[in-house]
Amino acid sequence: MSRPIPPRPGQGAQRARLAEMLRVDQAGELAAVHIYRGQAAVMRQAPGRERIASQLKEMEGHEQVHLSRFNDLLSERGVRPTLMSPVWRAAAFALGAGTALLGDKAAHACTEAVETVIEKHYAGQIEELKDRDPALAAELSQFRDDELAHRDLAVEEGAHEATAYPLLTAVIQAGCRAAIKISEKI
């Protein structure tokens, strides 16, 4: 017995999917900026943490470049940002500050957890867009490389040594995946 051929998507399906991608990516970069801001705010106040605070500021700068580009893309393509932006901004800052209060290793574990989810997210989008929008796929590839560098630095700095590392990263990654799904639609 042959399977029925699924119906072809409507003309707006690709545009709607691209809008979801851009909305999520903009929200993710907004959150990343605020995670690093929260972490840096704590680390700047801790004696002997100047080097880590400087690393966090540098990574925040990379994320700000990504955020600015996604802001431009949303405007150029007529896509609204997620309505959850105020929530993500506050939650991200709290996550960053909270993990930094747990110590250097927990802050790095947070970075590793977030960047691992984002790397996989970008990889899927790159695959989906490589033939349909190669210029955007190339930009996402560059952003993905930056995220991988952040993740690798976090691992080098001892992310895996954080107290309750498996639990901490599992909770953060689950939160990231939920935020992605919510931001696609809302």
Contact of 148 with 111, CB cutoff 8 Å: no
Which amino acid is present at 44?
R
Q: Which tokens is 102 given?
A: 């747990």
**Residue in this structure with the two tokens 């996604």, named with its chain if needed:** 70
For residue 157, the 8-state DSSP code is T
Residue set of the binding site for Fe cation: 29, 63, 66, 115, 147, 150
CB atoms within 10 A of CB 34: 23
Residue set of the binding site: 29, 63, 66, 115, 147, 150
For residue 162, the 8-state DSSP code is S
Chain centroid to CA 172: 12
Beta strands in 112-169 (DSSP E): none
In total, the chain counts a number of residues equal to 186
